[in-house]
């Protein structure tokens, strides 16, 4: 990393540290808060939103001070702005799931129009486009669904961004280095106020913004290798949000619930019912993210046989974890401070 990229990271941290308290004051003044509902939201008192807006502005301003935008970067920023505005409106509780999905598809269309998409040489162009849409919409909602516990989604996003930063440094991709540095700094600055007990939430605004940024940057980065398993590196780096989303969808399907209907089925909530505290669950999630992302880096650098073994081994571990976690009972009351059972679903 160059001194300018380090400066970008520091600026993102300082701007978020300065902007989050201002956003919190504004949210409290205008009553933009997340109130307990007795069903899925069990924080002791209403917690203000607008943290996501502070993350967005810190990210944008830290880049503006240190970086010259190129075409695809502008596409990411425009797509990010769309989901930020979408999230702000949704934090008022006025959007339907289908309206939110339409806005997300518009943001993805902007990315594709800017040349940001999955490109696999063995696939026809139409299949690449379909994969791009599923990848982006899935990640936008994965980070949104993961935002159920103080410090969880933002921290997992920061850890994932750190591993993407390693890939960017290895590939000498200065554009991605700057963008990821700005994102990491902004998220860490926000986490100062989002750690349990959270003084502010980032809401759909921040969660969807993180998902879009990370999803888009995985498509821009290169994962050179002599074997096709390196294509799975971004899946590993973002593996925990993806796994949590698939797990929740599977459990709700098994229970006969609508897939995107709020329920305490998340891995983090199950770990809470297992007896872990909120900080323990969050730190364990960070460690799991780092572990799976590290395997992704090994897959990219190892030979084909080792890479195949790592992929199969990881899949086996995740399947075993699914079987164990599914047996944990989440129906008994177990409400801890913070927001261990709050969920903001998206279509």
Inform me whether the pLDDT recorded for 334 exceeds 70.
Answer: no
* Measured CA distances, 226 to 221, 223, 300, 314 (Å): 16, 10, 9, 21
pLDDT confidence bin for 338, thresholds 50/70/90: very low
Helix (H, G, I), strand (E, B) or coil at 33: strand
For position 255, what pLDDT does the model report?
80
Let me know if residue 141 belongs to a domain: yes
For position 209, what pLDDT does the model report?
97
Q: Is 204 annotated as a binding residue?
A: yes
Q: How many domains does the chain have?
A: 1
pLDDT confidence bin for 2, thresholds 50/70/90: confident
Tell me which residue of 53, 333, 6 sits closest to 204, measured CA to CA. Answer: 53
Let me know if residue 337 belongs to a domain: no
**Mean pLDDT to the nearest integer, 252-277:** 82
Domain extent at residue 170: 3-326
Residues linked to residue 34 through DSSP beta bridges, in sequence order: 47
Q: Is 37 annotated as a binding residue?
A: no
Kindly report the average pLDDT of the chain as a whole number: 88
For position 225, what pLDDT does the model report?
80
Let me know if residue 163 belongs to a domain: yes
pLDDT, tens digit, 9 for 90 and up, residues 39-62: 555 566 788 989 999 999 999 999
pLDDT confidence bin for 237, thresholds 50/70/90: very high
Tell me which residue of 188, 206, 190 sits closest to 198, measured CA to CA. Answer: 190
User: Are the C-beta atoms of 144 and 90 separated by less than 8 Å?
Assistant: no
Instruction: Classify residue 161 by burial, with Cβ atoms within 10 Å: 0-12, 13-18, 19+.
Output: buried
**Mean pLDDT to the nearest integer, 165-172:** 93
Tell me which residue of 204, 213, 205 sits closest to 158, measured CA to CA. Answer: 213
For position 200, what pLDDT does the model report?
95
Let me know if residue 339 belongs to a domain: no
Rounded to two decimals, the pTM is 0.90
Let me know if residue 25 belongs to a domain: yes
Let me know if residue 291 belongs to a domain: yes
Tell me which residue of 85, 88, 124 sits closest to 106, measured CA to CA. Answer: 85
Rounded to whole angstroms, the Cα distance separating 164 from 146 reads: 19
Let me know if residue 333 belongs to a domain: no
For position 341, what pLDDT does the model report?
37
For position 1, what pLDDT does the model report?
62
* Measured CA distances, 27 to 20, 33, 46, 81 (Å): 10, 7, 11, 19
Rounded to whole angstroms, the Cα distance separating 287 from 314 reads: 15
pLDDT, tens digit, 9 for 90 and up, residues 131-144: 999 999 999 999 99
Mention every residue, 6+ apart, whose C-beta is less than 8 A from residue 318.
243
Token representation of residue 233: 């590196």
Rounded to whole angstroms, the Cα distance separating 141 from 64 reads: 27
User: Are the C-beta atoms of 204 and 52 separated by less than 8 Å?
Assistant: yes
Range in 46-60, 89-103, 182-196 the model is least confident about: 89-103
Let me know if residue 122 belongs to a domain: yes
């Amino acid at each position: 990393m160059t001194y300018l990229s380090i400066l970008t990271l520091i600026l993102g941290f300082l701007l978020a540290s300065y902007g989050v308290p201002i956003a919190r004051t504004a949210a409290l003044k205008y009553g933009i808060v997340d109130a307990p509902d007795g069903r899925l939201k069990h924080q002791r008192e209403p917690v203000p939103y607008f943290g996501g807006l502070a993350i967005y502005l810190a990210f944008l301003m830290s880049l503006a001070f240190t970086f010259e935008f190129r075409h695809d970067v502008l596409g990411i920023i425009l797509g990010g702005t769309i989901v930020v505005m979408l999230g702000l409106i949704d934090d008022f509780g006025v959007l339907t799931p289908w309206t939110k999905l339409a806005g997300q598809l518009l943001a993805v269309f902007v990315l594709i129009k800017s040349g940001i998409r999955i490109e696999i040489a063995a696939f026809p162009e139409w299949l690449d486009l379909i994969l791009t849409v599923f990848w982006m919409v899935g990640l936008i909602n994965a980070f949104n669904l993961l935002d159920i516990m103080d410090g969880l989604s933002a921290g997992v996003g920061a850890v994932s961004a750190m591993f993407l930063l390693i890939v960017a440094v290895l590939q000498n991709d200065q554009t991605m280095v700057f963008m990821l540095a700005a994102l990491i700094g902004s998220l860490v600055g926000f986490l100062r106020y989002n750690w349990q007990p959270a003084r502010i939430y980032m809401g759909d605004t921040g969660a969807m913004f993180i998902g879009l940024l990370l999803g888009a940057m995985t498509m821009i980065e290169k994962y050179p290798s002599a074997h096709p398993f390196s294509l799975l590196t971004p899946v590993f780096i973002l593996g925990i949000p993806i796994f949590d989303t698939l797990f929740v969808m599977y459990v709700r399907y098994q229970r006969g619930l609508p897939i995107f209907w709020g329920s305490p089925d998340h891995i983090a909530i199950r770990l809470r019912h297992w007896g872990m505290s909120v900080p323990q669950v969050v730190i364990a999630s960070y460690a799991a993210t780092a572990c799976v992302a590290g395997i992704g880096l090994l897959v990219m650098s190892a030979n084909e046989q080792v890479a195949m073994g790592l992929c199969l081994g990881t899949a086996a571990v995740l399947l075993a974890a699914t079987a164990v976690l599914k047996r944990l009972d989440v129906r008994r009351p177990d409400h801890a401070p913070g927001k261990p059972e709050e969920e903001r679903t998206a279509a």
